[in-house]
Amino acid sequence: MWAFLATEILFFGGMFCAYTIYRNLYHEAFASTSHFMNVTIGGINTAVLICSSLTMALAVRAAQLGQKKPLIWLLIFTLILGSVFLGLKAVEYHEKWVDHHIPGPGFHYADARYAQQAQILFYLYFAMTGLHAAHMIIGAGLLITLIVMAARNRFSAAWYTPVDMIGLYWHFVDIVWIFLFPLLYLIGHTK
Amino acid sequence: MSHPVVPIKVYVGVFLALIALTFTTVAVSKLELGEYNFVAAITIAVVKALLVVLFFMHVKQASAMTKLFVVAGFFWMAILFVFTLSDYFSRNWLPRGKWW
């Protein structure tokens, strides 16, 4: 599983690298965009994901101990928290749509000096959070599979490998967000 | 993939630390620290990621082989960053040659 996660690290790593390059090229423009990010929703979403990581870790623990009921409930909680994250993300995307902050012909930026450069940041914003959200959606699908498998008594204290693997995947997606949140929402906030 | 069962206490402790660090990173971002805002944000993010990797992902108790794969993953990302950025940042260091 960690071999797969290593490829995922590089997958996201490429985007973080692109972000780093453009942030250094267009420092001021990038800093100015964080005013238009919804820190409240971003912060709540960070907390939601951390909570979901806790429930996932506890689900793996329940699986280790062969406790079927707690396992199913903890997986359901994780799924709910993941859905809350995606729901709030949709609210944020809608905000960007209303503010004309979606890159393309309709893009409009308050500070005309930075219009072009800010568009690059919003492009990166949608690429990075979009890829992250895609991972969340896949993760939700995997969780549903786990819940069904657990309900059908497929796991025991002796064999719970899928729960362990998908747990690792879920935590990895959480880590990506741990980096996305400060980079996209918080940096340049004082300016 | 069997690893010892970790007490719930540990998970809750890590969880509380992660939530506390999230509040810290938001609070710190409101301070005027210049370039150190970036340093602080990344440092906190790295600490949070380490907590998740070591405790939630059980790497702390994992076999040497698993640890090797984890380190290799991040090491390769470091290669990606170092080589790409050393190119971008050093492009204007030398005067342009006449053959350009």
Residue A174: which CATH number? 1.20.120.80
The DSSP symbol for A157 reads: S
Asked if A44 has any chain B CB less than 8 Å from its own CB, the reply is: no
A5 contact B CB<8A:
yes
A105: in domain: yes
Q: Inter-chain contact A178–B48, Cβ cutoff 8 Å?
A: yes
Is there a contact between A50 and B56 if contact means CB atoms under 8 Å apart?
no
Chain B positions in Cβ-Cβ contact with residue A47 (cut-off 8 Å) = 19, 22
Specify the DSSP class assigned to residue B6: P
Residues of chain B contacting A50 with CB distance shorter than 8 Å: 15, 18-19, 22
**Cα separation of A73 and A81, whole Å?**
12
Q: Find all residues with CB under 8 Å of A96, minimum gap 6, and list them.
A: A102, A122, A126
Q: Indicate the number of domains in chain A.
A: 1
In a domain, A191, yes or no: no
Domain that holds residue A87: 2-186
Question: Does pLDDT of B16 surpass 80?
Answer: yes
Are A190 and B35 contacting, i.e. CB atoms less than 8 angstroms apart?
A: no
Angstrom distance (rounded) from CA A111 to CA A28 = 11
Distance of CA A131 to the CA centre of its chain: 8
- Return the higher-pLDDT residue of B34 and A177: A177
| Among candidates A5, A24, A178 on the partner chain, residue whose Cβ is nearest the Cβ of B49 | A178
Prediction ipTM score: 0.89
Query: Considering only residues 93 to 132 of chain A, which have any Cβ-Cβ distance to chain B shorter than 8 Å?
Result: none
Task: Write A137-140 long-range contacts (CB < 8 A, 24+).
Answer: A137/A86, A139/A82, A139/A166, A139/A169, A139/A170, A139/A173, A140/A79, A140/A82, A140/A83, A140/A86
* Residue A112 is assigned to a structural domain of this protein: yes
Q: Is the pLDDT confidence value at B13 over 90?
A: yes
- Site of tokens 């050093």: B90
Q: Determine the 3-state secondary structure of A154 from DSSP.
A: coil
Asked if B83 reaches chain A (Cβ–Cβ under 8 Å), the answer is no
User: Could you tell me the residue range of the domain that residue B47 belongs to?
Assistant: 8-90
Chain-chain contact of B29 with A187 (C-beta, under 8 angstroms): yes
Mean pLDDT by 10 residues, chain A (191 residues): 93 94 87 87 95 96 94 97 97 93 88 86 94 97 96 93 96 96 82 49
> What pLDDT does A128 receive?
96
Please report the pLDDT score of residue A31 as a whole number: 83
Task: Classify residue B60 by its DSSP letter.
Answer: G
pLDDT for residue B82 is more than 80: yes
Kindly state whether residue B1 falls inside one of the protein's structural domains: no
- In a domain? residue B98: no
Residue B80 to residue A183, Cβ atoms within 8 A = no
Is A57 touching B (CB cutoff 8 A)?
Answer: yes
Cβ distance B38 to A175 less than 8 Å, yes or no, reads no
Whether residue A173 lies inside any domain: the answer is yes
Using the beta-carbon criterion (under 8 Å), do B52 and A171 form an inter-chain contact? yes
**Domain membership flag for residue B2:** no
Residue B77 falls inside a structural domain:
yes
Which residues, numbered 27 to 46 in chain B, qualify as contacts with chain A under a Cβ-Cβ cut-off of 8 Å? 29-33, 37-38, 41-42, 44-45
Q: How far is CA B56 from CA A111, A137, A159, A176, B76, in A?
A: 43, 21, 19, 14, 23
Nearest C-alpha in B relative to A178 = B45
Whole-angstrom distance between the N-terminal and C-terminal Cα of chain A?
A: 42
In the numeric block, the tokens 């993953």 are attached to B73
Ramachandran area for residue A103 (φ above 0: left; ψ -120 to 50: alpha; else beta): beta
Confirm whether B99 is domain-assigned: no
The more confidently predicted of residues A78 and B99 is A78
Distances from the Cα of B6 to the Cαs of A59, A101, A151, B75, in angstroms? 12, 45, 24, 28
A126-151 core/surface letters (b: 16 or more CB in 10 A; e: else): bebbeebbebbeebbebbeebbebbe
Number of structural domains found in chain B: 1
Q: Do B85 and A21 touch (CB under 8 A)?
A: yes
